[in-house]
């Protein structure tokens, strides 16, 4: 059965951390919008307070008229809203970006990320209905991410939790979406120390990925 827009809304509502964004939404959003490529890009507001071109990759580069429209207006756009088909063809010759559509993710009045879609040449162009649906998805994503940032997961020691207090501190920062380098800086340790700690944590919890670790710890909190 094909995914509906409300299936996408439900998946967003059930997100427990930023780490779950891509793996949780990948199939549902890709299938619903009929795209060959898509991605969610979050801007690190602590180190990149503005929205310069280099902070918004792929189809939402500020030098791209579609991306510039989204950055300036905080509204979704596709290439035919901005340019004629011929102008877009001249601007972007890539076969896998025959049609693009981008929407904003907003928190506290700031652009904190974008959701970007691309269809191959020869595929149907995005429509006004696609824009309306993307606008709704952006509202749900913006609201959910704002909630996650305001109420971050707090992991606590328990009899069912095998991690040490220091490891739980690292897990908390992972759940907030920080990279190894950012965790190392925040905790005044080396990146290698973070990497080795994560290996131990994965082994203790029987997981192999950051998102899986966060989900496992949240399950332990719920069922402890």
Domain 165-223 in this protein, CATH class: mainly alpha
User: Nearest 5 degrees, angle CA 22-CA 23-CA 29?
Assistant: 65
Does position 25 have pLDDT exceeding 70, yes or no? yes
Find the helix packing angle between 191-205 and 210-223, rounded to 10°: 50
Cβ 194 vs Cβ 180: under 8 Å:
yes
CATH homologous superfamily for 5-150? GAF domain (3.30.450.40)
What pLDDT is attached to residue 195? 93
- pLDDT for 79 equals 93
pLDDT for residue 84: 92
- Tell me how far apart the alpha carbons of residues 176 and 196 are, in angstroms, rounded to a whole number: 19
Mean pLDDT of the chain: 81
List pLDDT tens digits, range 115-163: 989 999 999 999 999 999 999 999 999 998 888 776 666 566 555 678 8
Average pLDDT over residues 28-33: 88
pLDDT at 124: 94
- Answer yes or no: are the C-beta atoms of 197 and 166 closer than 8 Å: yes
Delimit the CATH 3.30.450.40 region(s) of the chain: 5-150
- Nearest-CA neighbor of 17 among 187, 175, 181? 175
In the prediction, which pLDDT does 45 show?
Answer: 40
Closest alpha carbon to 177 in 55, 50, 16: 16
Q: What pLDDT sits at residue 155?
A: 63
pTM of the model: 0.64
Residues of the chain with CATH 1.10.10.10: 165-223
Q: What is the pLDDT of residue 190?
A: 85
Q: Among 65, 71, 62, which residue's Cα sits nearest to residue 112?
A: 71
Q: Could you tell me where the DSSP H helices lie in the chain?
A: 5-13, 21-33, 65-73, 79-82, 85-91, 128-150, 165-175, 180-187, 191-205, 210-223
So what's the pLDDT on residue 162?
84
User: 3-state class of 15 per DSSP?
Assistant: coil
Please tell me the least confidently modeled range out of 45-49, 56-60, 210-214: 45-49
For residue 41, the model assigns a pLDDT of: 79
Q: Is the pLDDT of residue 48 over 60?
A: no
In this structure, what are the phi and psi dihedrals at residue 8, rounded to the nearest 5 degrees? -65, -45
Structure confidence by residue, pLDDT tens digits, 86-104: 998 888 888 888 999 999 9
| Whether pLDDT at 173 is above 60 | yes
Dist CA 177 CA 149 (whole Å): 10
What are the tokens at 58? 């792929």
| pLDDT one-digit tens code per residue, 195-211 | 999 999 999 999 998 88
Q: Does residue 44 surpass a pLDDT of 50?
A: yes
Token pair of 194 as six digits: 């973070």
């Amino acid at each position: 059965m094909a995914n509906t827009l409300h299936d996408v809304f439900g998946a967003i509502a059930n997100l427990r951390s930023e780490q779950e964004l891509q793996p949780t939404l990948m199939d549902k959003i890709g299938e619903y919008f009929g795209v060959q490529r898509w991605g969610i890009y979050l801007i690190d507001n602590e180190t990149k307070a503005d929205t310069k071109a280099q902070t918004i990759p792929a189809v939402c580069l500020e030098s791209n008229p579609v991306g510039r429209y989204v950055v300036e207006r905080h509204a979704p756009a596709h290439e035919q809203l901005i340019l004629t088909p011929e102008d877009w063809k001249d601007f972007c010759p890539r076969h896998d970006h025959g049609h693009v559509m981008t929407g904003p993710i907003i928190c506290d009045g700031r652009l904190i990320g974008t959701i970007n879609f691309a269809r191959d040449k020869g595929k149907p162009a995005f429509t006004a209905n696609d824009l309306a649906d993307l606008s709704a998805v952006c509202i749900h994503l913006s609201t959910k991410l704002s909630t996650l940032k305001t109420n971050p997961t707090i992991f606590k020691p328990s009899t069912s939790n095998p991690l040490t207090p220091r490891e739980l501190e690292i897990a908390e920062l992972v759940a907030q979406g920080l990279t190894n380098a950012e965790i190392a800086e925040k905790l005044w340790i080396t990146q290698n120390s973070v990497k080795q700690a994560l290996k131990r944590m994965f082994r203790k919890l029987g997981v192999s990925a950051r998102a899986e670790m966060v989900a496992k710890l949240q399950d332990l909190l719920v069922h402890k």
